[in-house]
Amino acid sequence: MTDAVVAPVEGASLPELRLKHREDRRISAGHLWIFSNEVDNERTPLARFASGALCRVVGDRDRFLGYAYVNPHALICARILGRDPGHPPGKSLFVHRLQVALALRERSFQTPWYRLAYGESDGLPGVVFDRYGDVIVGQIGTAGMEARKPELLAALEQVVGPRAMIWKNDGGSRELEGLPSYVEIALGEPPEHAWLEENAVRFKLPLGRGQKTGWFYDQAVNRREMLKYAKGARVLDVFAYLGAWGLAAARAGAGEVLCVDSSAAALTLLQESAAANDLGTVRTLRDDAFDALAALRAAGEKFDLVIVDPPAFVKRKRDLPKGIAAYRKLNQMAMQLLSRDGILVTCSCSHHLQQDELIAAVQQSARHLSRFAQVIAVGGHAPDHPIHPAIPETRYLKTLTCRVVHD
């Protein structure tokens, strides 16, 4: 058995990970991921590296490409952390990354409710931090960042100084990295629930027990844009979770709001938020989304504004045909519930589904029903989810606002 290399902390003495001939082009263009088939295993065998070890990435012509962490057991076997030879990974680099990330958020938001760090887009591949006032919820998805937890926490304390912090390390990507799933308190005594404000509504959310890190900050701008269609409308919010769309519509003057979700726990919190904001026009329905849409149609229900914000239907590229069919079915069922001149807000968080494919699904759904659909707004990520221009994987969210009329 070959002994694994455990990386030292000094940059110059870190072991090398060499790439094959001409496999440095994508990294030189700014991407941060190295795939196992790009490594020159004859000169620098991946098997020699411990999971999470640090290394110096070098091209076939001896050119330094950056510092990275390694996982020899994963398809993405290394991720670049920094390109300055004089600044190897460590607490000081993480402090710098978080200071730069915080500066963007403080320019973009007036209140401390946002995604503080968005993985690769903020130079911290494999980690996200969501901020709920003085509480941080973090999520690590890679072995390299799991090995740097103490340095990440120390940097977070220096830059933000949170009262409490939770690691919610239960994402599906951890299994691919050979990591266990767990939730733990890293700092202080976080409350069971937090309150945040968005679109003049206070929302109660779970810390450590909700979906993802508790809230979906990525849709914040799109939810604000939706408000112009809400006044006086009868609104249906499908896949409502904590009611971010529906309660905002109610605050904006909707005549009636129905929020549909399959989670009883989420709907309980939604109802508590509605009561706390005195939003008596909000009703909830616990059901599978597709079953609920079918039942509402059978009952002859009609809505002026329908919002469908589902989980990802396409998690892997090979699932694309099945996923496109699901988006087409969902949009068709949503359109069947629209009034004669209604607004449909339809979303996809599937990276593998392109925006044009979502538009095509809307068009096909409309034609099947002899409707005419007009895309009147196209939305993407909120500014706390910046897109890395060299990494298309950081762009996943598509939100279309469509007017649908009888043809």
Catalytic positions are 349
CA distance 364 to 357: 10
Q: Which residues contact 30 (CB under 8 A, 6 or more apart)?
A: 388, 389, 390, 391
CA distance 170 to 353: 24
CA distance 82 to 338: 50
